[in-house]
Structure formats: C-alpha cells, structure tokens
Structure 1
Amino acid sequence: MATKTLDKKIEKAERGEAKIIDKAKLAEALLKDAPKSAMPAKIKPMKATLVDEPFDDPGWVYEIKWDGYRAIAKVTEDEAELISRNNLLFDQFYPVNDLLKKWGHNAVLDGELLVLNDKGISDFGGIQNWRSEADGDLVYYVFDILWYEGKNLMDLPLSDRQTILTHILPKNDDRIRQSMVFEARGIEFFDAAERMGLEGIIAKKASSAYTSDLRSKEWLKIKVQRRQEMVIGGFTKNEGTSKPFSALTLGVYKNGKFKYMGKVGTGWGDKLQKEMMEKFKPLITDVCPFDVEPDVDEPSRFRPKRLGAKPTWLKPELVCEINFAELTSDGKVRQASFKGLRTDKDADDVVLETPTDTDKTVKAADEQAEKSIHPKVEPPKKARRTLLNPKDESQERPVNGHLIKFNHLSKVYWPEDGITKRDMFNYYYQVAPYMMPYLKDRPMSLNRFPNGIHGPSFYQKNVADKAPEWAKTMPHVTGEGEHKEYLVATEEDSLLWMATLGCIEINPWFSRVQSPDNPDFCVIDLDPDKNTFDQVIIAAQEVKKVLDAVDVPCFPKTSGSTGIHIYIPLGAKYDYDQSQLFAKMIVQLVHKQIPDFTSLERMVANRKGKMYLDFLQNRPGATIAAPYSLRPKPGATVSMPLAWEEVKKGLKMRDFHIKNAIDRLKETGDLFKGALGKGIDLEKTIKKARTIFE
C-alpha cells in the first residue's frame, strides 16, 4: 500500500469519511446463526496489551488508537447508557446518549468517546473539558459489537463482528461512527500514524473473540507517544510563584504499595489550574501517600538547582494521564507533560505499563489461536445456491464483505464439455465451506489459464501491486534469491478472486504463514507415467499397508489428473527436511514391494515409463492441487478426497467432476479433515518402522 494512499485513508477515517462497503447479506447470515442470549448485565471492555514495537504478521488488522474515553454502550429500544471502564455512567455526554436512544434497536457496543480538534484529530483535553456542544465536536467511534437483538456475538471472530457492525450501525449522524479497520502492514501503518501525530495504533487478530475485562494478547497497542496513567499524590509550589501550584507529584501502585514516579509541571493553563485546585482541596492531607516520602525538590542533572518547592499531599484518588520522554535509571518520568484528568479510571488500578516484547507476544497470540490449528468452517447442511445468475455477462457480488467483479461469464473454459467461467465461479462458491480449511493462511501459487484449459497458461507467485487492497500477502525470498509477495488465502473471497484470474486449479503451500517452515502434512504423490490407474491404486494400497503397520493415519484423494495424493498429518511440528526424509522412507518400503512398475528416479528419462513415487514434493514452496480443486483437464475433474474403501480396482479419475462433486459432498461430508488433525509423533513412528521393516 503506497505511503500517501495510507495517510489519506487514515485522514478520512479520522474525519469519518471512510468508505464502508455494504455487507448486509453477509451480516444477516451471521446474525441468523449466532447463539441466542439475554443482554449481558455487566460487561467491562476487553483490553489491549502494550508491546514495544510495530510488526508485520498475517492475520492481524489495525485501527487508530483513539485518544478519548473508552465506553460500553448498552442500548434498548427506549433507553441508552454509556458506561466507563470503572462502571460509571457517562451521562454528561448527552448528545451521544440521545442519538442512541433514537436508534430503536437493542445492542451492546464498544467504542471510544472523543472530541476532535479543528484538524480532525482526537484531543484528550477536549473530551476531559467537554460540557456542551460549544466545547467541541463530540464523537462516539464504535469499533466492536458484543450483542444484538437477542444474539450473543462475543464468540464470533472479530472480522465477523465488524461485518455485523457495518450493517447495523446507524449512519444518519456522524457523531456516531464506525472505527475503520485497516488491512495494512503494521509497520507501515505505525509509520503513517507517527507522521500524522497520532497517539498510536491498535493491532487486533482478525480471528479474536471478545472476552470481557481480559487484557488480551490478541489485541495489542503500540504507542507513538509514551503515555502513562498516573495517580496524583500531591502538588508542589515553588518559592515566589503566584500560581496555585507548580507541579503535581505522581505515583503508581506496585504490589499494593504507592510508588513515587516523579513530577509533571507543564500541560495546563490558568483556568484549568483553578479547576484542579477545587478538586484537590477536599483531598488535602498531612499524611504522605507514597510508601517512601520523596524529596520533591531534589535536583537532577537536568535541573541542578533547588527551587524551594514545598509539597502538599493529597489522598491518592485522582487519576491523570501524562506524556513523557523516558524513565530515568531510578524510575522517574522525565520531560513529562500533563494531558488531563481521567474520571473513567480507578486509582487502585493504575500500575506502570511496561511494554512487552512484540515478537514473543505475537507468537503467544498466534499459538493461542493455533489451539484450534485450522479454522472452524462447518460445511452447510444443505448445498448453497449458486453465486451468479445464468444471464448477465458481468456481475458484481459481495463476498466476505468485499465486492468482486465477475466478467465474461459465458466464456468456455472446458470446450469438450461446454463448461464456462460462470460454472467454475459457481462451483468454487458452493465448495468453499469444504475447501477453505485447506487454503486458509497458506501462501498460494497462482496457476492461471485465462483462456481456458487449451489456452496458454502461466504461474504467478508475485502479486505485489496486483492483489486487491483487502488481500493478505506474505513477503518471501525464494531459493533463487527472488523477492516475491505471495497471496495468502484468508476466506472465500481469496478463492473467488483467484478464480477471476483464471486459476482453474488452486495450489496452496503445505505450510501456513504462522509456521512457514513447518508443513501441516507430509504428502506422497503417486505420479504414473505409462502405468494404468489400476496400478496407481495398487501403489496407494501398498502405502496404506506400510502406514497401517506403524499406526500412522493417512488420507487419500485423487489428483484430478492421473495420480493419487496421500496426506499424513504432521500438525506443523516438523520442518520440511524431516517431512521429506519420512516420505522417502515410506516410498522406499513401497518400492521394495512393487519394484516392477514403480521408480524412485527423479529424472523422467531414468524412470523408463514406471510410476514415480514422489517424496520430493515435501519442500518449501512446493504445491499440488488442493482438496476439491478443479483441474484443467477434459471433463472438469476434481481432486476428490476418498474413503479408503473406495481406493480399489474400478475407480476412475473421471468419476469426480464439476457436475457431481457438490452432490457427493452432501452425502459424504468432508472425508479429508483428518489430514488437518493432530500430527503424528515422528520419532516414535520411525523407531517402530525400524523394528518392523529392518
């Protein structure tokens, strides 16, 4: 994404001018399937973990870190409440309350109340001092929806909750806006936020659920400016000053003790000082609130002279927010600037927020998501209707919230069978719920046939500047040193966009972007030369016998061309070299059983027409046709998962094709899901194999 383009998008998001695509149909389907529940009685906002630097990682989306008051909105048809993080009502922000009351729906929303300055940037001082419309433009930026019209949405992925939010949020008054989600690179997005003087950015895992009051590692905040909430423990007054006070003494809680963190002496005007003194007066005490009484007039290398500052202690009940340059070696803030009081925070909850290591935190979040290694995509109970109508030559459809254009729909791709582009698009739309678990989060090699199966074809791996803005990509340097930007499949929009490029067959990596060096399965590719398909079946049965002997599960599918692929689950626990060595051991054992018509020779000329037992597919960047992929062969054959009982003489490649695959799936369901299951224990398996076969 170009830098200037990203800056403009952020500016539009701040002004509430971001274009939001209509996601009505998808939102309605998600709401229909969501579980029923009563409106939650007590909800506290889900919180983000502070990390030390921005990052690029697939599966994350980014938002602006707004500089205001976090607020949960509970809305019914005749009432609305805005609730702070410490469960106080924000009744003073009556314009937003009034707008939500008029909405006429029942919902629980999460967002940020803020005041925008004349540049459209949120101003914390503005929200702190807001009393009426004369004090600035009050806006409620909504970034999440937790419950809607009797449906609990908190367990849905963030991306689905965003889709619903886009559909239901009122759009008739820009004082309530949806916070824009950016599918950008994190480092680039952070740099843009820094250039524009924003407080920071929020990174959220697109698959994250919503958990009340949790500080999540799937939501991360990266600050451009160093900000910290502090509790005011007193104020000082320098000799000879006529001002109410010169500085505030600040602290945070650590292990139940109130620790002194230094002073802040700038960031307020005369009017604000007087208002603050009125708040201080009832809290004045003779007792120092800090665990160790500080020298508030202590000189430093930055201020070597004492100023005659005298302290007045306060009960530690008021919370403020400051900017600061750094923490000194003795743990005091340096170059601090007061940003405002925080009435939405409890003093007892204020601790020093220390950034965690980004790489470790992101890895932990990814591992947490990987407890369910693959997406929970339930096949439909009844077949989907087709996506495209049978008449119009050009049609535009929303897919996963993104509009995709489908052109030249009557163009014939399989001339012997009269099968068109329209037929291909409709097939991939219908098969997507079964197919996506084998594509999600995987880099893709695009095998393009723009003029059908008999026209010129070519591979495309680099999609830099070609993929749509919403697409996920992964930078990768090939073994030849070439820099590529691979498309990463995410949802069915990725699948259908590939199809619009003429990708008749779909070719994913064996590994996912979360673990690119560790394949999810080992694959044995039975690739016949002059052999019959019945001989391919014999070879597949021999592979099954060897793997059964060592208690290793395996899952067969037709290649859709001439061979059979057999997958062995590894669970991303081993690297490609280990996977390849294991495959080599298996095919060597198979070759010993049927040497007359099989070969382990890589060079075609050296095979002498025998079937190649291919184990070398198990290498980084290698691809084969995915389960349920169409193939650019006469008959529009499909790479179809099989039950082992079907792998017997008489099975034919052309048994499975575009016209009967969906009907078969309605009967069998997904026979291949075990390939994405718990990986085998490779060390135990190899030891067992040696005791049996040596």
Structure 2
Amino acid sequence: MLASLGDQPFDDPEWIFEIKWDGYRAIAEIREELKLYSRNGISFVKKFAPITEALKEQQHEMVLDGEIVAYNDDNLPDFQTLQHFGEHPGVPLVYHVFDLLYLNGHATTSLSNIQRKDLLKEALIENDFIKYCDHVKQKGVDFFEAAKENNLEGIIAKRADSTYNEGRRTAEWLKIKHHNTEEVIIAGFTEPRGSRKKFGALILGRYKNDKLLYAGHTGTGFNAATLNDMYQKLKPLIRKTCPFAIKPKTNMPATWVQPKLVANIKYSELTEEHIFRHPVFMGLRVDKAPEEVIIPKNEKVMTKAKNTAQGDLKSAVVKTSGKNNTIKEKDTRIKVGKQEVNLTNQSKIYWPDEGYTKGDLIAYYDHMSTFILPYLKDRPESLEPLSQWD
C-alpha cells in the first residue's frame, strides 16, 4: 500500500500517525521459506543478513510490512548511511515493522489498520534488529513538531479504519514531509569538466501522464568512489535517443540512458515547471520502480513572483563584484538572473570528513540567499577573489 503526498499535519481522532522512516521499504514473509524483499521484488535476504537472521526468531507465520533503516553517528535514520551499509557492516540497522498482512494462515488485509497493528504488536518478537513501529492517535500536529525537533524526515498519517490495499496509492495513507526529499529517475549524464571524472551531472526526470519530463540535474553529493560506482551502473544503460518527451537543454553534451535507475535527492525548492533547485544526490532507491516516480498532483512549487524576486536579489550581489571573469575551459558557467557566473572546481573537497565539496558550499549559499541578500543589497562589501580557494 502506498501513501499520497499530504499538504500539512493535522489533528483528527479517526487517524493515527507514525514516523516517516528514511530507508528501504521491505516485505518480510516468515513461512516455510523466509523471504525479505523490496516493493519491486528485489531480495534483501543477503544484503541485510542481520535482519534476515533476526527474523528467524519470530514464533508465528507472518507477512510483515516495514522499513529497513540505518542509523548514523548522530543516531538518526540516514539514507546515505544505509546506502553504504555493505562497506560498514557494524552500522546500527533496524527493520521497523508497521503493518501485518498475514498471520498463521489468515490474511489480515481486510481488517482495519488499528486492528492489524494491535495483532502485530502482540505477535511480533522485538530484538536489536526488529522493532514494532508505534503510533500516536489524533495528535498529528504535535507529532509532526516532535519529528521536526528530532530532525526526522516527516510523518505518515493513516486512517485508523483503513484496510490494506496492495499496490495502490490512496488518500487513506498520507506522507507529510519535514525534509525536502524526493525520488527521481536518472535519464542521462553530462560530460565532466576540469578535474571531474566519469561524468559531470546526472540528468533527472519524473513521469506525468506516462511521459518522462525533465526535472533538473545534479552533480553534487558524490566523491571519487561514488562517481565511479554510479558510472559503472550507467554504462550498460546507455542509449542513442533522448528518453524525455521533450528534449531538455543541458550545459554540457549529454549521454542518454535507459530510465531504469531511481535516485533519492534532497533539494531546496521546486520551480513552477516542477524542476528541482539545488538537488543533491543521496543514493539509489533499489526498492522503487521507475514507473512509480510521478509528479504528485498537489506538489508545492515556487510562485513566479518569488522566483523573480530571488533572481533580482542575486543579480544585485553579482553586480557588486565589478568582475568580468575570463571563462576557462575547465569552468562551469551558470546564469543567475541576467548575469553569467563562472564557477570553478566544484568537485573540490573542502571538508574531507563529511565529504562536502565547493559545489555543496555554493549550493548552500544559493539556498540561503533569500535570507542573506536583503541585508547585503546596496551595502559596500569587501570580497576576496574566489581563486584563492582553488
């Protein structure tokens, strides 16, 4: 069963509210043969062996629905940590179980949500790797605020009396987000510049009315190892023709690929054209099929007035520099308002421990510009040349 996008948190006595976990959705079948797999049927039995072993402790025949989550050093669910679990098998790993679809020879999907959860709580044996996903009743607003305070991804709202509708995206389950994260389809990549290897940026898309539409591009969120790993996954998918309904313009020559890989990104905002601003690659979603990545009907986007105002403010600050930089071959040229700005060495690592690059820093300043620029406009500034950081 799939959740639709919710607009905002709410209170309602007929609804329950759960944490929105930042991991892989997974089904566990505990019968004669133990199975653990993603929504699109990819086996997790070997990939997440500690959870597979922990499921063997269960005493009942069950089919469970839940989310596999890895915890980072701050003890928070973290999708990127989950991505690299195989390289760091000691990372805390938990299967948070929130639904019960089958119990001891009987399907439970026709029972109400709250009935299924009551049965699940009684039947499930918890251990270090298997946890019951609890909920609160009615108080969705307070629960959402608590999720924000703990820097969680958001909450899931579910009608207490809803039955389980497999494979359907209904309004009886709603995802209400705190962080701006989304799934996108990788439809191609651009040539690298300067010291960058393998590719420059991933070209992103989403479906609307069965047509693949351009959704932006991202070159941040990678290091040397992940650049190479992603490139190896893209090579077998290379195709000659553009997969988009309308071919987008790219700032570098593009190589198109079969739209089969789904990525998770975080971003700052969405334009009116549903294009992501400042998307950062978080990892691949092996638990979702490309056909599921669609533009929600009620997706929040920037208003035209806000977009124009931001462009004017950014142009004002660019003009204060009084520079007319010569564009070098290795540079990246972007257009900000009416100005063209030269950005160099965006893949250069500034903070090795965290993996943040110069491009990440620029994206952060761009994102915060709405708050910073009103205090800088029309004031004299002393700017050091960016070249000292290269």
The answer to whether TM tops 0.5 is yes
Within 5 Å, give how 1:553-632 maps onto structure 2: none
Partner residue of 2:149? 195
Partner residue of 2:373? none
1:49 is the counterpart of 2:4: yes
**Deviations for 1:407-457, whole angstroms, at most 9, x for unmatched residues?**
xxxxxxxxxxxxxxxxxxxxxxxxxxxxxxxxxxxxxxxxxxxxxxxxxxx
- How far off is 1:262 after superposition? 1.0
Within 5 Å, give how 1:547-558 maps onto structure 2: none
Contact persistence 1:201–1:223 (CA under 8 A): yes
Distance 1:255 1:245, change over 3 A: same
Partner residue of 2:220? 266
Distance 1:287 1:170, change over 3 A: same
- How far off is 1:135 after superposition? 5.2
Q: Which amino acid aligns with 1:124?
A: F
Partner residue of 1:569? none
Q: Which amino acid aligns with 1:157?
A: S
RMSD: 1.9
Question: Alignment partner of 1:317: what SS?
Answer: strand
Find the aligned partners of 1:98 and 1:238 in 2 and give their Cα distance: 43
Partner residue of 2:247? 293
Distance 1:242 1:212, change over 3 A: closer
Partner residue of 1:314? 257
1:80 is the counterpart of 2:34: yes
Find the aligned partners of 2:90 and 2:188 in 1 and give their Cα distance: 29
1:206 is the counterpart of 2:160: yes
Instruction: Give the number of the structure with larger relative contact order, counting CA–CA contacts within 8 Å between residues 6 or more apart.
Output: 2
1:137 is the counterpart of 2:80: no
- How far off is 1:132 after superposition? 6.5
Unaligned runs of 5+ in 2: 301-390
- How far off is 1:285 after superposition? 2.3
Contact persistence 1:126–1:135 (CA under 8 A): no
Q: Which has the higher strand share?
A: 2
- How far off is 1:270 after superposition? 1.8
Question: Alignment partner of 2:11: what SS?
Answer: coil
Find the aligned partners of 1:167 and 1:132 in 2 and give their Cα distance: 35
Distance 1:241 1:353, change over 3 A: farther
Distance 1:212 1:108, change over 3 A: same
Partner residue of 2:69? 114
**Deviations for 1:632-686, whole angstroms, at most 9, x for unmatched residues?**
xxxxxxxxxxxxxxxxxxxxxxxxxxxxxxxxxxxxxxxxxxxxxxxxxxxxxxx
Q: Which amino acid aligns with 2:41?
A: N
Within 5 Å, give how 1:403-552 maps onto structure 2: none
Contact persistence 1:129–1:135 (CA under 8 A): no
Partner residue of 2:202? 248
Partner residue of 2:229? 275
- How far off is 1:168 after superposition? 1.1
- How far off is 1:128 after superposition? 2.1
Contact persistence 1:285–1:313 (CA under 8 A): yes
Partner residue of 1:337? 280
**Deviations for 1:332-362, whole angstroms, at most 9, x for unmatched residues?**
11111111101112223321134379xxxxx
Question: Alignment partner of 2:260: what SS?
Answer: coil
Find the aligned partners of 1:108 and 1:229 in 2 and give their Cα distance: 26
Find the aligned partners of 1:62 and 1:204 in 2 and give their Cα distance: 6
Question: Alignment partner of 2:220: what SS?
Answer: coil
Distance 1:239 1:174, change over 3 A: closer
Contact persistence 1:247–1:263 (CA under 8 A): yes
Within 5 Å, give how 1:169-180 maps onto structure 2: 169-171=124-126, 173-180=127-134
Contact persistence 2:25–2:66 (CA under 8 A): yes
Find the aligned partners of 1:216 and 1:127 in 2 and give their Cα distance: 28
Q: Which amino acid aligns with 2:162?
A: S
**Deviations for 1:248-274, whole angstroms, at most 9, x for unmatched residues?**
100112222221111112122221111
**Deviations for 1:283-320, whole angstroms, at most 9, x for unmatched residues?**
122222222221111xxxxxxxxxxx222221211110
Find the aligned partners of 1:135 and 1:355 in 2 and give their Cα distance: 40
1:348 is the counterpart of 2:291: yes
Contact persistence 1:141–1:177 (CA under 8 A): yes
Q: Which amino acid aligns with 2:66?
A: G
Number of residue equivalences? 299
1:60 is the counterpart of 2:3: no
Contact persistence 2:96–2:130 (CA under 8 A): yes
Find the aligned partners of 2:128 and 2:49 in 1 and give their Cα distance: 15
> Identity rate of aligned residues, in percent?
42
- How far off is 1:216 after superposition? 2.1
**Deviations for 1:612-644, whole angstroms, at most 9, x for unmatched residues?**
xxxxxxxxxxxxxxxxxxxxxxxxxxxxxxxxx
**Deviations for 1:24-59, whole angstroms, at most 9, x for unmatched residues?**
xxxxxxxxxxxxxxxxxxxxxx11111111111122
Find the aligned partners of 1:238 and 1:53 in 2 and give their Cα distance: 40
Find the aligned partners of 1:104 and 1:180 in 2 and give their Cα distance: 20
Question: Alignment partner of 1:280: what SS?
Answer: helix
Find the aligned partners of 2:267 and 2:297 in 1 and give their Cα distance: 14
TM-score by length of 2: 0.73
Find the aligned partners of 2:183 and 2:88 in 1 and give their Cα distance: 27
Partner residue of 1:160? 115
Distance 1:67 1:283, change over 3 A: same
Question: Alignment partner of 1:89: what SS?
Answer: coil
Partner residue of 1:426? none
Contact persistence 2:57–2:125 (CA under 8 A): no
**Deviations for 1:456-500, whole angstroms, at most 9, x for unmatched residues?**
xxxxxxxxxxxxxxxxxxxxxxxxxxxxxxxxxxxxxxxxxxxxx
Find the aligned partners of 1:329 and 1:356 in 2 and give their Cα distance: 10
- How far off is 1:139 after superposition? 1.0
**Which structure is larger by alpha-carbon Rg, 1 or 2?**
1
Find the aligned partners of 1:325 and 1:132 in 2 and give their Cα distance: 29
Partner residue of 1:181? 135
- How far off is 1:244 after superposition? 2.1
Distance 1:119 1:242, change over 3 A: closer
- How far off is 1:81 after superposition? 0.5
